[in-house]
Chains A and B, each alone.
Chain A
Amino acid sequence: MSKLTPAPGQTVGPFFGYALPFAKDNELATPGSAGSIRLHGTVADGAGDPIPDAILEIWQPAADGTIVAETGSLVRDGYTFTGWGRASTGATGRYTFTTVNPGATRRGVAPFIAVVVFARGLTNRLFTRAYLPDDDDALAADPLLASLPGDRRSTLIATREPDGGLRWDVRLQGDGETVFLDFDGGALAGGRDVSGERA
């Protein structure tokens, strides 16, 4: 099998607002429907300022842990769970999704929502995860979380709110910088300093 070199990413730029958003893009579930929850938070930069021109996508299992293969995310019928959604941040850097709690894909594994972040000023997409906070044993057994120091680990775990919703903030840089993931190995990820220094 041939191995090809992937094309580089580029910033989403400032003008995606008329192209990428669509009606009900952030409604994986209909607000108010049984089992629906709000997942929301703020995207902030290295100065702690909100980023008003970021766009997030989430991809998750259904409530029973099934990974669905349903089309219809772009033209939602209000009933079919497609597992995928998109939300732009507003003027205050806030994003909101309506979704369901993802189920565990296998017994005992920690459920999480896969997230990809795009923004003006961000030269390439960033992958991360938002874990549900509820199952301490499953979180403790999670290989990714176990590989992180405690202060960084917490950036990947959402907070359960009194109304059952989830709060999860994204910090691109600085105090509480979110852990972003490299699935492909350093040279493909672009995270390394181009001066050749290695952290």
Chain B
Amino acid sequence: MTNPRQNTQQEMSAEIQAIASGYRDSVAAGGAVLTQPSLDYAPYRSSILRHPTKNLHHADPETIELFSPAFGHQDVSPLEADLTIVHHGEPQGERIKVAGKVLDGDGRPVAGQLVEIWQANAAGRYIHKRDQHPAPIDPNFTGVGRCITGSDGSYAFTTIKPGAYPWKNHLNAWRPAHIHFSLFGNEFTQRIITQMYFPGDQLFPLDPIYQSIVDQDARDRLVATYNHDLTSPEWSLGYNWDIVLTGSKRTWTENEALGEDGEHHE
């Protein structure tokens, strides 16, 4: 692979801003609001050869696509929601709780579904063997968690606030602190993997992955909110992040719409 001179952050930021400005002009002229990331987003260099060049093909979901795989307590132990108790000692860093609800685009709770997370440690180092960032590995932190949502779509993880992470997209490229989230909905078409960020991160405008979502309101949906009610005295800081999946395409039966607890969610 050739290794041309890496772009500076200043050059990268100019590219990001040019696209952002073009998008704002487009919306001002009546163009569509883009609530998902652009698949074709050249500032994220790895996307250049990995995005489809043809438009996605509209399809009406059929049969299997209108249902979702099932997960349950055979699959996931409740202990997997606490990333700080995996090893014998306490991990380094700022202990946090991240909690919220998974909802579908119609506002229905996504109950009994799988949530998976993974993240860097407090120093910004992933345990993954390909991570060469010379920050310390924490022997007491792996950075992987799973849980099954409650009947109201709720989830909660106890973990450590991840550090910012350097990468090689351009010279002096740093990812804002983030937690990867993998989510299943009530239907296969609602499957999504995304990233949760922390409020006020100064790296947001510099990061081509975050900025691949060109719409500010859409980007904001990935930022958790500090919530003192989720903070535990002398223990951990609390963040709330509710996740909305796409809308339902299936005609729900009355029992499904009522939910497990008998509460009417419509």
Contacts and interface: CB of A to CB of B under 8 A. Distances in A.
Nearest to A106: B63
Given A109-B63, A123-B47, A193-B40, A8 B222 contact: yes
A116 B185 CA distance: 13
A121 B47 contact: yes
Given A5-B35, A192-B34, A173 B75 contact: no
Given A14-B130, A51-B50, A184 B70 contact: no
A182 B26 CA distance: 22
A183 B131 CA distance: 35
Contact of A19 (B51, B116, B192, B195): B116
Nearest to A72: B74
Contacts, number: 287
A171 to B, nearest CB: 9
B263 to A, nearest CB: 15
Main secondary structure of the interface of A (DSSP, over half): loop
A174 interface: yes
Interface in B5-62: 19, 22-23, 26, 31-41, 44, 46-62
Contacts of B63: 61, 67, 105-106, 109
Interface in A68-123: 68-75, 82-84, 102, 105-106, 109, 112, 114, 116, 118-123
A12 B56 CA distance: 19
A6 B74 contact: no
Contact of B67 (A5, A67, A116): A67
A15 B130 CA distance: 8
B259 interface: no
Interface of A: 1-20, 45-47, 49, 51, 57, 59-61, 67-75, 82-84, 102, 105-106, 109, 112, 114, 116, 118-127, 143-144, 147-148, 152, 172-174, 177-196, 199
Interface of B: 19, 22-23, 26, 31-41, 44, 46-65, 67-76, 103, 105-107, 114, 116-118, 126-131, 142-144, 146, 180, 182, 188-189, 191-195, 209-210, 212-214, 217-219, 221-222, 243-247, 249, 266
